[in-house]
Structure 1
Amino acid sequence: MSAERTERILAEAKYLALSTVSAHGEPWSAVLQYARLSQPLRFLFGSATQSRHSRHITANPTVSGSLFVTGDGDLTAVDGAQFTGTCRELTEDEVHRHHGTFYDALLPDEKDRAEYTLPVAALLAPANHRIYQITVDRLWLIDTSTWLEDRIDRRVEVAVP
């Protein structure tokens, strides 16, 4: 699996599906828009502190998820990745440091960014919103070569960029 393919998926996927588990073992999945940070690979997303996945993260920071690109209707162009990692709220210092990067990625249109960007104060306690960070520890890509041969859906673990 190529580093270029991994980079393409990371660059083109606009949403991630995040899976969490409560302290009582109840699973949940949420589709979230995100921003990517590199070295180490991390994903930032915003959420209300009382959302189900935010409550799960507080109780159990181990998460998994997936990214996908659709290929504009061409079945052979569909691609994606799965990951595991740990998730936590950003610290106040980190919110200040990543605020611009986060909203630039989520809202590339300047007009939308001006309208929908929350101020830093709205992302810190006691406010109801936070920015969370997933630190990716393992990453898998769809094994497209074998799927073309036998139509069995497999994953191949790749190095985390």
Structure 2
Amino acid sequence: MVPPETLAVLIEHGRFATHATHTPGGVWVSTINFLPLWEPLRLLWYSPRRARHSCNIATTPEVAASIFRTDLPNEVGLDGAQFTGAVRAIENADELAERAKQYNTRNFPDEQVRAQWRPPPTWLATKNDQRLAASQQQPQESAEAGR
């Protein structure tokens, strides 16, 4: 199992996770850019509602995920952790506004760059194609550091 301090570094400094979704018709893997939310641990990301992984999640919200980094100063230069969890779309307008602000601030720390990339507030409204989602993650006992 990944030691808690290593897991915290992976999650805090990782930017991307690979999510595996499934339906009775098969499985799908996609890469997401995430924002960690702590206590309880959740990963927040956005994606198009029509994306295959979003459609799979709408049917079956359970996912598996992997976070890894390849720039670490250990003997092999990499480390990772695997998770399972359940996903929910963020629909509440107040929570949506707060989470979108957190997500955009993390991904675009420079205010001028953020102003160029930040979508209008209605962009994540439930009637539009994009949405924010959060998955509550449970680290897996089988996750091994440096493997």
Please give the residue correspondences for 1:27-42 in structure 2 after superposition, counting only pairs within 5 Å: 27-42=27-42
Please state how far the C-alpha of 1:105 moved relative to its aligned partner: 1.7
Higher relative contact order (CA 8 A, sep 6+): 2
Please state how far the C-alpha of 1:115 moved relative to its aligned partner: 1.2
Measured in 1, the distance between the counterparts of 2:25 and 2:69 equals 30
Task: Tell me, yes or no, if the aligned pair for 1:18 and 1:29 is still in contact at 8 Å.
Answer: yes
- Highest Rg: 1 or 2? 1
Please state how far the C-alpha of 1:2 moved relative to its aligned partner: 2.9
- When residues 72 and 49 of structure 1 are mapped into structure 2, their CA distance, relative to the original with a 3 A threshold, is same
| DSSP 3-state at the match of 1:94 | helix
Q: CA RMSD in A?
A: 1.9
Where in structure 1 are there 5+ consecutive unaligned residues?
Answer: 145-152, 154-161
Please give the residue correspondences for 1:54-65 in structure 2 after superposition, counting only pairs within 5 Å: 54-65=54-65
1:9 matched to which residue of 2?
10
Q: Which amino acid letter does the alignment assign opposite residue 54 of structure 2?
A: S
Q: Which amino acid letter does the alignment assign opposite residue 78 of structure 1?
A: L
1:78 matched to which residue of 2?
78
Question: 2:27 aligned with 1:44, yes or no?
Answer: no
What fraction of aligned residue pairs are identical, expressed as a percent?
Answer: 26
Measured in 2, the distance between the counterparts of 1:112 and 1:121 equals 20
Please state how far the C-alpha of 1:91 moved relative to its aligned partner: 2.0
Q: Would you identify which runs of 4 or more consecutive aligned residues in structure 1 move more than 4 Å?
A: 72-75
| DSSP 3-state at the match of 2:76 | helix
Query: Which one has a larger percent helix, Structure 1 or Structure 2?
Result: 1
Q: TM-score, normalised by structure 2?
A: 0.88
Question: 2:29 aligned with 1:25, yes or no?
Answer: no
| Aligned residue pair count | 144
